[in-house]
Amino acid sequence: MATASVSGSRKNELWRCLGEVNDPELDEPITEMGFVERAEVTSDGSVDIDFRLPTYWCSPNFAFLMLDGVRKALDQLSWSPAYRVKLHDHMFAEEVNRGMEAGKTFGDIFAELAEDQDLGALRETFRMKAFKRRQEAVLRGLRQQGLTDREILEMDLPVYDVAGFEPGEAAKQKPRYRAALLERFPDRRAYDPVFVTWDGERIPPTALTGYLGELRGVRINMEFNGALCRGLKQTRYKELDVVDGEPTLVDFIMDRVPARAAPTA
C-alpha cells in the first residue's frame, strides 16, 4: 500500500509539473494541448515521457522551447529522478532523441537546428503575447463586474489580490497575469498600478478601450493558432474533439483547411 501511495503521489506531481509548461506561442499548457502523450513513473522511480507535436514540420525552435520547459519541470521533481523524453514524428526527432540518449543538453542538440534565430528574443516575444492575453482577460472581467475604467487602472496589487471572479476565463487568467506581471517587473512595489503596458507605462482611463482592442487582436490570433494546432494534431492522429455532441471550432477550421495545404506550426 505504501509503495502504491508513493507511486500515485509521484505521478500526480509529475503531471502537475508538466501542466505548468506552456506552448510558448499559444500560452496554453502542453498537457491540455495533448502534446504529452505519455508520462509515467517507472518502478525504479525514473520517468518516461513521449512527446508529440501537431505536425512533422513544427519549428525546431518551438520544439526546443517546449522540451526545455519539460526538462526544467522534470528537474524540479521532489525525488530527482533520471528521465527519458522521446520526441515522436518530427523532422528532427532522430537528431533530438539521439542527442538526448547521448546525454547532451537541449542547447547543444538544437544549436545546429535552431534556424539561426535568437531563441532568447523568440522567448521574449512569446512572453509579451502571454502577458497581453492574460491581462486582457482580467481587464474584461473587471469591466463586466461594473468597475469604471479609472477604478480598474488605479488598482494596486493588494486590491487586485482580493478581487473575485465567477468561474471562467478571467478567474483562470487572474493568477497567471499576476505571475507574468511580477516576472516582467520583479522590482515593482505593492502599491504600483497592476495594469500597465508591456513597457511599464501607465494606461490612461481614456485610452483603455483602444488598448483593449490591441489586446483583443493578440488573443484572437493566439486562440486561432491554438484551435488550428489542435485540429492538425487531431486530424493527423485520427482523434475527434466533440463538446456536448456538437462539432467544435476545431472541426469548423479543419473543414476549411485545403487538403493539399502545407501545415505550419
Res. 241: pLDDT tops 50? no
Q: Specify the higher pLDDT residue, 151 or 96.
A: 151
Percent of the chain residues topping a pLDDT of 70: 82
When mean pLDDT is compared across 19-28, 112-121, 196-205, the lowest value belongs to 112-121
Give the pLDDT of residue 257. Answer: 43
Which one, of 46, 121, 52, 112, lies nearest residue 84 by Cα? Answer: 46
Q: How confident is the model at residue 116 (pLDDT cuts 50, 70, 90)?
A: low
Q: Is the pLDDT of residue 227 over 90?
A: no
* Domains in the chain: ranges and CATH: 2-117 (3.30.300.130), 120-265 (no CATH)
What is the pLDDT, as a whole number, of residue 211?
Answer: 97
Average pLDDT for the chain: 84
Q: What is the mean pLDDT of residues 51-76?
A: 86
CA separation for the pair 71, 201 (Å, rounded): 35
- How confident is the model at residue 115, as a pLDDT? 55
Q: Which of 30-34, 77-81, 248-252 has the lowest mean pLDDT?
A: 248-252
What tens digit of pLDDT does each residue of 132-152 get?
Answer: 999 999 999 999 999 999 999
DSSP-based three-state secondary structure for 242: strand
Q: What is the pLDDT of residue 265?
A: 42
